[in-house]
Amino acid sequence: MREITYSVRAGDIEHGGTSSAWLKVELRKEGVSEELARRAGVIAFEGEMNLILYATHGGTLRVAVNDTQIEIELHDDGPGIEDLDLAMTPGYSTAPYWAANLGFGAGMGLINMERNADRFEISSRIDEGTRIVCWIDRRNDDASP
Amino acid sequence: MKFAEVMELLNGEMLEGVDVSDMVIDRAYAADLLSDVLALTDERTTLITGTISPQVIRVADILNVIAIIFVRGKRPPQSVITYAQRVGIPVMCTKKTMFESCGLLYANGVRPCKNRPVSGSGSGCAK
């Protein structure tokens, strides 16, 4: 794998999470341990669903892996997050009502991403978009070469 | 508890043909919202949920959940059941509520899995 980019379509609930489930399989093929593949899968799933539910035009999920780290980047071109502190508050959600019936809107998405990353960066500008990068350290991974 | 005992206890219906003869259910987590499910950190956990979207199976697959119990009489579409079968996760449904299902399982020795509750610093429950 080394690097792979998935395009995520806005509103494509039906296929939501597909890329993340595949990603976990691909990471295992790369020799990543079950535990780190699981953490990467959680980050990717939350990011993928955010792109589907909130990004105006969807976005991209890019994952790069080498012997020392896994890098997961999510990028969209809008609408941007107005208040990042509020968005990072556990339980705060702007998910539409209908999304709750499908299991979305717990207000834990960004927090789950941060918790599963060794390093987490988020930047967002209104009308320009949001970029999130998460890094998982592989140097202490039992399955690393 | 053996999976078959759980089925009997909850008067449940097995939804696909994954072999569960050796499966033991000793830990469980109950939630409808997927991000709450994604906060659990324990592998080999059974998920109890009333959400029947395809994402439930994808989340369970990512987390290495061993079995799913759909409560409140919810029955996922066949495509979701087939997906669960493909990834090897047994699924059953019961007409019992989430509360009753959890209570019955707890009374019979199934325990909570580890999870990561929201911290008490400002935004979370203090205790």
Residue B30 lies in a domain: yes
- Nearest by CB: A17 against B59, B118, B123: B59
Residue B24 lies in a domain: yes
Closest alpha carbon to A59 in A2, A125, A11, A122: A11
Q: Residue B7: which CATH number?
A: 3.40.1390.20
- Tell me whether A99 touches chain B (CB under 8 Å): no
Helix (H, G, I), strand (E, B) or coil at A71: strand
Which residues of A fall within a CB distance of 8 Å from B83? none
Burial of residue A127 (CB within 10 Å: 0-12, 13-18, 19+) is: exposed
B95: confidence class by pLDDT, cuts 50, 70, 90: very high
Tokens describing residue A83: 């208040």
Which residues of A fall within a CB distance of 8 Å from B61? 21, 24
Residue B119 lies in a domain: no
Instruction: State the average pLDDT over residues B29-36.
Output: 92
Residue B63 lies in a domain: yes
Q: Domain of B50?
A: 3-112
How does pLDDT run along chain A (145 residues), one tens digit per residue? 699 999 999 999 889 999 999 999 999 999 999 999 999 999 999 999 999 999 999 999 999 999 999 999 999 998 999 999 999 998 898 888 888 888 888 888 999 999 999 999 999 999 999 999 999 999 978 765 5
Lowest mean pLDDT among A7-16, B17-26, B46-55: B17-26
Number of domains in chain B: 1
Which residues of B fall within a CB distance of 8 Å from A89? 123
B123: confidence class by pLDDT, cuts 50, 70, 90: low
Are A102 and B63 within 8 A, CB to CB?
no
Whether B52 contacts B80, CB under 8 Å: yes
User: What are the structural domains, with CATH classification, of chain A?
Assistant: 3-137 (3.30.565.10)
Residue B15 lies in a domain: yes
Helix (H, G, I), strand (E, B) or coil at A123: strand
- Tell me whether A49 touches chain B (CB under 8 Å): yes
